[in-house]
Amino acid sequence: NAGVTQTPKFQVLKTGQSMTLQCAQDMNHNSMYWYRQDPGMGLRLIYYSASEGTTDKGEVPNGYNVSRLNKREFSLRLESAAPSQTSVYFCASRGTITSGELFFGEGSRLTVL
Amino acid sequence: DQQVKQNSPSLSVQEGRISILNCDYTNSMFDYFLWYKKYPAEGPTFLISISSIKDKNEDGRFTVFLNKSAKHLSLHIVPSQPGDSAVYFCAASVDPGNQFYFGTGTSLTVIP
């Protein structure tokens, strides 16, 4: 039972490069989320998708785009990476929009030089 | 501005004793709260939740207490075990369907 799977687990980019973080869940969940974790800041929501075909901004959406490709997959794209985007990124899913528990992936560590 | 605060970055406790992790929030509209546990190189995993209609919720060794008037919640772990050593995050939302705001985390070390 894989749960929430993120790829890649590690990535180093140069400033200005682009990349996409992939996330897939096999729990048939409706809602999916992207968070970033920074030292002293906790987890901050970047974007979320309440259901297939919808996306909404979270606390820190600037510099990111997302795509809810289908019910299983939710990708996060950095069009022009900046050093401030160096972080650990977590994808999460939730069964229904009203069910509180989030299931997280293992994280993707991104370094922007 | 941080709406959910965990003012203790770290906590050390002897095995078998009680661990108390604290969380404060500023938004009086928050009425649903979660605790998550995170091991290094893993994603956070759900521990326990509480809604504002309760002031206490128990699940085995874990108990969460909510004091709405003080805008404070705490997680009690009794008895503490070495496997409990991890970072603990609290999170809050206006209702379960809304965005969750996470605290900065408290790193718990349980000493054998």
Per-residue model confidence as pLDDT tens digits over B60-91: 999 999 999 999 999 999 999 999 999 999 99
Weakest mean pLDDT among A61-65, B2-6, B69-73: B2-6
Cβ contact B43–A104 (<8 Å) = yes
Nearest CA distance, A16 vs chain B (angstrom): 27
Cβ contact B96–A105 (<8 Å) = no
Nearest CA distance, B105 vs chain A (angstrom): 6
Pick from A43, A97, A106: CB nearest B89 = A43
Pairs across A and B, CB distance < 8 A: 57
**Is the model's pLDDT at A98 over the cut of 80?**
no
**Three-class SS state of B63:** strand
Question: Mean pLDDT over all residues of chain A?
Answer: 92
Chain A partners within 8 Å of B42 (Cβ): 106-107
Average pLDDT over residues B8-35: 95
Residues A7-40, buried b or exposed e (16+ Cβ, 10 A)? eeeebebeeeeebebebbbeeebbbbbbbbbeee
So what's the pLDDT on residue B70? 96
Taking residue A2's Cβ as centre, other Cβ atoms within 10 Å add up to 9
**Is the model's pLDDT at A96 over the cut of 80?**
no
Question: Mean pLDDT over all residues of chain B?
Answer: 93
Residue whose pair of structure tokens reads 């995170």 in the numeric block:
B38
A36 vs B98, more confident: A36
So what's the pLDDT on residue A95? 77
So what's the pLDDT on residue A97? 60
**Is the model's pLDDT at A16 over the cut of 90?**
yes
Q: How far apart are CA A98 and CA A37, in angstroms?
A: 24
Q: How far apart are CA A85 and CA A90, in angstroms?
A: 13
So what's the pLDDT on residue B59? 95
**Is the model's pLDDT at A40 over the cut of 90?**
no
**Is the model's pLDDT at B96 over the cut of 90?**
no
CB A107 within 8 A of CB A89: yes
| Residue A45 touches partner B, C-beta closer than 8 Å | yes
Residue A20 pLDDT grade (very low, low, confident, very high; cuts 50, 70, 90): very high
**Is the model's pLDDT at A73 over the cut of 80?**
yes
CB B91 within 8 A of CB B101: yes
CA dihedral B30, A29, A37, B98 (to 10 degrees): -20
